Structure formats: C-alpha cells, structure tokens
Chain A
C-alpha cells in the first residue's frame, strides 16, 4: 500500500500541495485526477523521493522509501528516462544490469505486443513508440507498485488504444497502479479508485464502482461536481 499522509509542498511562497492524504492499494488502479498544474506530478516525484517535501509523510508498504524500495516500486514519467542514442536493446540491458526485479521475458512480450524492434534507437522512434518503450521499461519490472504520469498525453489515437489495452491485460496483473491523467475517457472503465485534487487538497477520494452502483455517477460526473460546481 502506498500511503500519502498530509503531504505539503511549496514552490517558493506558493503552496502547491497543502496536506494531501490518500492511499493506493495493491491490485487496484488508482487515478490521480486534477486539472493541469495542481501538483499531480509533484506527488509522484515526492513518492519516489525525487523532490524534497515540506511536510507530511509517505510510506510504501509501511516503510519510508529507501534504495531497495526501487525494486518494489517504479515510476514511468511522461518522458522516457533513457538516453536518446540508446537502442531499445541497450535500454533493456541497462535495466537488467541494475534491477534484480527486471523481467526480460515480460519485456520481450511487451515489445511483441507493441510491435517494436529492439535494435531501433530511441531517437528514431515516433512519439507514440517512445511512450510505448517508456511503458515497457516500467511494466517489465516485477514491482508491487507502478506509478504512471500522463501515459496518454500527446499520443496518437492508435497508440492510446494499445496502451489502454495493457491495463486490462495480465501485464498489470495484481500490481498496484497509480496513474495521473487529465484525459479520463480512455481508462475510466479500468480504474478502481479516483482521487480528485483541487486547490492543493484532496477534495474527493472514492471507489469508482461504489459510486456507480450507489449514486449512479461516473468519474466524469464527480469531476464536474468538483471542478465546475
């Protein structure tokens, strides 16, 4: 379980996150929703200890993050985290070198699924294919939690469909996924839990199924209530 407790983050004098608390469970897809600039990426970075925080606490399976945590949790940012001059095979080699949790069989499977050739250089790939490689680098790790930042932004429609398919496949299996997006449509039917951020706080945290069954509302309905009502 990822527990974010009273997370506060300031940029200069501006408080972007003001006591954000929520949890993300293993085996669920949790979606962080918010209009741009509300600090979704900052939350991801904070969970991964990639930016200092001004207050609060973040626990992963009950522990603060440490070097071995990176074998249990990984983050797929919205840009690829490998050097442009690398071939896909080299990026996989790098991952295999440094991570014990790297699963080469799964990586090959994902490459096949996306129809990518491993001797292609990253700099030669289209935007969509780069995003797919980026996704592959995270998905092929045998981790408990997977963080994804805007996996659909700026990608063509076909790639988007392919990526969305991944979420319902065995590639995600019983892992916990924390995802941010502002384009909820592609994955609305996939997500188990939604966390709505507004003005630096969590204004709604709910189970999508419960909301649908009890109140007959969709995620988009909820968003309307928060952001427009």
Chain B
C-alpha cells in the first residue's frame, strides 16, 4: 500500500462517523417519508370512498394515483439530500482547516510525511469524491427499496410503478445527480471534481498568505471559472454561435482539464514553497 492510499484511508476513517450519521439520516428520513406519504394518501382515499362521496375510480380520476414521483418531492426526501450536499460542501473546507485548528496541530504531521505533499491534496480530493459518490450509490440503492415499500402499502390501482430510470429521469434535480448516460455522468462529476480542485487551491492560497490569500483565492477561483467557461462565453458574445455543439464540448473538456491541471500545479507549488504551518 503506498502512502497515498494510506492517506485516503486515514482521511476516510476520520470522517466516517459523521458520514455514517448522514447515511443513517437519509435512510431513515426517506423511508419514513414513503410510509407517511403513502398512508396519508390511503387515508384520504379511505375517507373519500368510505364516506361515500365517491367511488375508488372517481377518487383516482380526481386525485390521481400516487407514485414515487410525488414522494421524492417532499421534505422527507429532499431534506436529507440537501443536508448531505451542504455537509459535503462544508467538508470540502473542513477537510483542510481542521488540520490547522485545535491545539493538536496535525498539519505538522501531514507535512512531515515522507511523501510528496501533493499526495495529501490528492488524498483529500479522493476522499471528498468517494463520499459524494457513496451517497449517490446510496440513493440508487434506496430507490428500489422505497419503490418496494410503496408497492407493499398502496394497492395496485392507486399507484403508478416507476422504474429507477424513470424516477431519476423526470425529476429535475435528480437528472443532475443521476444523468442519463455514463458520458454525461462523467461530465457532471468531472465538473464537480474540477470545482473541488479549484476550491482546494483557493484554500491553500488562504493557508499560504492568510488575509491576502483570501483575495488571491477568490481571484484564482474567478480566473478558473472564466477559463472554464471561455468557450461558452465566446460562443455567446464575439463568436456568436460559432462552434458546433461537439466542438464546444471538446473545447470545454480542454478548458476543464486545463483548470484541473493548473489547480494541481498551483497547489503543488503552494504546498512546497508557500504553505505555513501556523
């Protein structure tokens, strides 16, 4: 096992407790959500039908059958997802700052490891990414379970069964998290990874130059953003509609990879030459 993997493992285990709590909250909240919403719907149906005001087919006509599509748009579902997203965004910062904070200055240890310091950067980025993808996988595992619970509670006539693909396809936010094709998946999460690299570099600017570094970090972020979107900005302004879609895609991939490479290079420089321990 080389030191990079050991670092990933170390970072991973350091966050594991909070991560498991996030997973637990997600599972519990979403499953409770399915049960609560299904029962609410059934109670409403029972009231209407047994109250004699309408037949079951009239009820379905008027209120529509229930499906996971309705349930995933509730707070039971989106709440934990939002919580996970916010937690991971905080984690992107926390993963660096906690090494400096507190009286146990772990950052001394990290920077005195007999390995290239950029491996620390890669290890932290890898950990963030594993955490993100882990939650994505969790949601993909949870959806069939939830579909099954819905089927178990609500009778056939009152529900629409949807495949995982249909659920992820029609709900807008899910379409961002679970794109349709593997190529888009790589593009979406590639952009995400790029953003993590840029933020990490901005954090290292701050850690190297402190107050001035905040400014450098912001400038760096803006430049990275401008470079990444340069083809689109050109397309929208002076080279109006000049590029064909496929060309735009290739250009964006080039600028994206340039931003990633630039961030790694910059971070390597900062870690070796400019970083400060206290």
Asked if the two chains touch in their complex, CB atoms less than 8 Å apart, one says yes
* B105 in complex: contacting residue of A51, A70, A79, A98, CB < 8 Å: A79
Inter-chain contact A97/B6, CB cutoff 8 Å? yes
Whether A94 contacts B10 by the Cβ 8 Å rule is yes
Q: A51-B276, A52-B273 are in contact. Are A70 and B113 (CB under 8 A)?
A: yes
Are B14 and A81 closer than 8 Å at their CB atoms? Answer: no
- B182 beta carbon closer than 8 Å to chain A: no
Residue of A nearest to B1 (CB): A97
Q: Which chain B residues (6-27) contact chain A, with CB distance < 8 Å?
A: 6, 10, 14
Query: Is B3's CB under 8 angstroms from A98's CB?
Result: yes
B172 within 8 A of A: no
State in angstroms the CA–CA spacing of A51 and B117 once bound together. Answer: 14
Query: Scoring A residues 95 to 121 as 1 if CB is less than 8 Å from chain B, else 0, what string do you get?
Result: 001111000000000000000000000
> Total A-B residue pairs with C-beta atoms closer than 8 Å?
67
What A residues does B115 contact at CB under 8 A? 67, 98
**Bound complex: CA A68 to CA B3 (Å):** 13
Q: Which residues of A contact B112 (CB under 8 A)?
A: 48, 50, 70, 74-75, 81
Instruction: Tell me how far the C-beta of A178 lies from the nearest C-beta in chain B, rounded to whole angstroms.
Output: 15
**Cβ contacts A42-81/B at 8 Å (1 or 0 each):** 0001001111100000000000000111110011010111
Known: A69-B114, A94-B109. 19 other contacts (CB 8 A): A50-B276, A51-B277, A67-B114, A67-B116, A67-B117, A68-B114, A70-B114, A75-B108, A81-B112, A82-B109, A83-B14, A83-B104, A83-B106, A84-B102, A94-B10, A97-B6, A98-B114, A99-B113, A99-B114
20 A-B contacts, Cβ less than 8 Å apart? A49-B111, A49-B272, A50-B112, A51-B275, A67-B113, A67-B117, A68-B114, A70-B112, A74-B112, A77-B105, A79-B103, A79-B104, A79-B105, A81-B105, A81-B109, A81-B112, A84-B104, A94-B109, A97-B6, A99-B113
